[in-house]
Structure 1
Amino acid sequence: MDLKQIRYFIVVCELRSVSRAAEILDVSQPSISRQIQLLEAELRQHLLRRTGRGMEPTEAGLRFLSHARALDKLANHARQDLQSFQSPTQGKVRLGLPPRIARRLTPLIVQEFRAQMPNSSIRIVEGLSADMRGWLIKSKIDLALLYDPTPAAMLSYETIYREDMVLAYAKTCRPRPPKNIKAGQLERYPLVLPSRPNSIRTLVDRICHDAEISLNIVAEVDVVQTAVETISYDQVYTIIPRSAIHDTPHRKELTFSCIKEPVIKNSLVLAMLVHGANPELTQTTAHIVRHIDMAKYMA
């Protein structure tokens, strides 16, 4: 067996899907299936079975999964140790941030990290939450701030900030919504929203589905700031975190309505691998992030 086979097996077990694992790992489905077949042949055990809930480990697969996670953790530690050995600094931590969060928090995080870990280095990686969740699973980053991530047994989650979502639009937009709008009234307005699996779209779809609300989505724009720019020039609306309005140069031309009944709140979550490499640097960085006054920097 090799580390690639072990990693593929772990990710398939976590996601219960070969196709989703292939998407996260950026390899073809046949490649994953072939490597797992080779692993099963070497172990002389069936490790996975297909059920109505997806791919699940067999009894032998569950037994092997604990060993696989331990081996994967050990390999990550070895990789990090050799990287630290080759570097003049004592280790590097990789922190993923959504672009809007990165603009606000990077200077503070870097300053605090240098003060607490002067002989180590930090790399800030920007990306969409759905992408960074995959990077975490693939060990391309050590920890990240994610918006409303889907569960994964390989990852630990800790909510550090929640923010109201609002209906945003140009001040010249007609019809002009009231300052407080019920969620059921959102279907009256032509909306520009990101496509799935963007965290905003996933959150809004879930809330509206539960409330039996049918949205009028006239365009899908995957980058939040581009969506905000779009509503500055057209008679359309969008649903975004309240603080996102302040990130556009056209903010003076925009306004918003608070969404009620139900209130829609996003969750900014600190995510880490349960068995990640370089736990000291990762925990130090997580401590720095936890102690940021998010309300101050997101205002």
Structure 2
Amino acid sequence: MDIKQLRAFITISETRNITKAAAMLNIVQPAVTRQIHLLEEELGVELFERGRHGMSLTHEGKVLEGYARRALKEIEQAKTELTSSDGALKGTVNIGILASLSELLSIALLRVIKKKYPEVNLKISIGYSGHLKEWLESGDIDLALIYGSLPSKFLDIQPIVREQLWLIGAYDSGLKYDQILQIQDIAEHSYILPYTPHRLRTLIEQGFSRENLELKIAAEINDLYVQKQMVKEGFGYTILPLVSMKNDLQQNSVKVAPIAHPDFTREVALALPNTRHISKLVHAIAQETIHCSKIAVETKAWLGGEWIGTS
């Protein structure tokens, strides 16, 4: 198995056509065919199903695809790091950011990266913490901001910000920003929440269970935008960190109130994989991510955020 075979394999999986793959790779078609045959012979499996509508991956091909993409990515990163004669950081970094933080940090981080590292291509993947953890462990992303309470033997997790969770209601809900509520005060409401096993849902369920209270569910949706829209329309309440409601508060479209309960807090952490080499570029972007987060907390842009990082 060599790099040329893996590149041919990935290109065919994307184009579903050997002729198109050969053109993209700038080699003759028989050479591409031979590379795939050699790869299949070495592995002892068929990687493609040949049909009238093109070539599609077999089950074994789909298994190899993830490994092949990660291997090629690692090789390209190594090449970039080793051949950069002027010492300038260059290459591509894929960072994962929680959906609730995407509006706050994506633009700020991109602005810093483009100014300090103009030859760096920043890719931002938005997702929920569980998804980001899986993507990071599998090598699909390089670093991520996730909930710090998610354990993993494959990740180094550095908590940086602690957030309180708030009760969110429609504008006519009567909630008050400076009126602290106990969990018993909010048990009568019905909630629009992400569905299990979303980490935020788990925190909320733990809080209600600890007080022997019933958590009433009006709707379950794993889309933050739709979740907030449902609340604005009065279909129910939700519980979120305040930072995720920043624009909504500025637009006077919701009302919020703090909840006094030890379970209703979360820690946001920077996570890096500990199972593979971390390039200078990824380390640099990780530090910029921490710095942008700290600035957001210090300037109160990160609503409700308390800095707990070490740097």
Q: TM-score, normalised by structure 2?
A: 0.64
CA distance in 2, matches of 1:174, 1:77: 53
What RMSD, in angstroms, separates the aligned Cα atoms of the two structures?
3.6
CA distance in 2, matches of 1:262, 1:249: 24
Unaligned 5+ runs, structure 2: 1-58, 65-69, 304-311
Partner residue, 1:158: 158
Q: 1:222, CA displacement in angstroms? A: 1.4
Q: Is the 8 A contact 2:167 2:240 kept in 1?
A: yes
Q: 1:195, CA displacement in angstroms? A: 0.4
Q: Is the 8 A contact 1:80 1:277 kept in 2?
A: no
Counterpart amino acid of residue 254 in structure 1: V
CA distance in 2, matches of 1:253, 1:121: 36
Q: Is the 8 A contact 1:148 1:203 kept in 2?
A: no
CA distance in 2, matches of 1:180, 1:80: 50
Q: 1:122, CA displacement in angstroms? A: 2.1
**Which deviations, in whole Å up to 9, do the C-alpha atoms of 1:213-264 show, x marking residues without a partner?**
3211121121222111111112521111122222338941321221114461
Structure 1 residues 242 and 103: alpha-carbon distance in aligned structure 2, compared to 1, 3 A threshold:
closer
Partner residue, 1:40: none
The worse-fitting range, judged by mean Cα deviation, of 189-198 and 117-126 is 117-126
Q: Is the 8 A contact 2:146 2:270 kept in 1?
A: yes
Q: 1:175, CA displacement in angstroms? A: 9.7
Q: 1:154, CA displacement in angstroms? A: 0.5
Q: Is the 8 A contact 1:105 1:297 kept in 2?
A: no
Q: 1:211, CA displacement in angstroms? A: 3.4
Q: 1:167, CA displacement in angstroms? A: 0.9
Q: Secondary structure at the match of 1:298?
A: coil
Across the two proteins, how many residue pairs are aligned to each other?
A: 234
* 1:1-299 aligned within 5 A: 77-78=74-75, 80-82=77-79, 90-148=90-148, 150-173=150-173, 179-248=179-248, 251-262=251-262, 264-292=264-292, 293-295=295-297, 296-299=300-303
**Which deviations, in whole Å up to 9, do the C-alpha atoms of 1:83-132 show, x marking residues without a partner?**
77899x83322111123422222232223223443443322222222111
CA distance in 2, matches of 1:287, 1:91: 16
CA distance in 1, matches of 2:119, 2:177: 54
The worse-fitting range, judged by mean Cα deviation, of 93-102 and 225-234 is 93-102
Partner residue, 2:306: none
Q: Secondary structure at the match of 2:150?
A: coil
Q: Is the 8 A contact 1:80 1:278 kept in 2?
A: no
Q: Is the 8 A contact 1:159 1:268 kept in 2?
A: yes
Partner residue, 1:21: none
Q: How high is the sequence identity, in percent, across the aligned residues?
A: 20
CA distance in 2, matches of 1:275, 1:116: 28
Q: Is the 8 A contact 2:95 2:144 kept in 1?
A: yes
Unaligned 5+ runs, structure 1: 1-29, 36-72
Q: 1:162, CA displacement in angstroms? A: 1.5
Q: 1:205, CA displacement in angstroms? A: 1.7
Q: Secondary structure at the match of 1:297?
A: coil
Counterpart amino acid of residue 77 in structure 2: Q
Q: 1:184, CA displacement in angstroms? A: 2.6
CA distance in 2, matches of 1:227, 1:235: 10
CA distance in 2, matches of 1:187, 1:181: 11
Counterpart amino acid of residue 81 in structure 1: A
Q: Is the 8 A contact 1:173 1:235 kept in 2?
A: no
Q: TM-score, normalised by structure 1?
A: 0.66
Partner residue, 1:51: none
Counterpart amino acid of residue 215 in structure 2: L
CA distance in 2, matches of 1:286, 1:192: 33
CA distance in 2, matches of 1:132, 1:120: 21
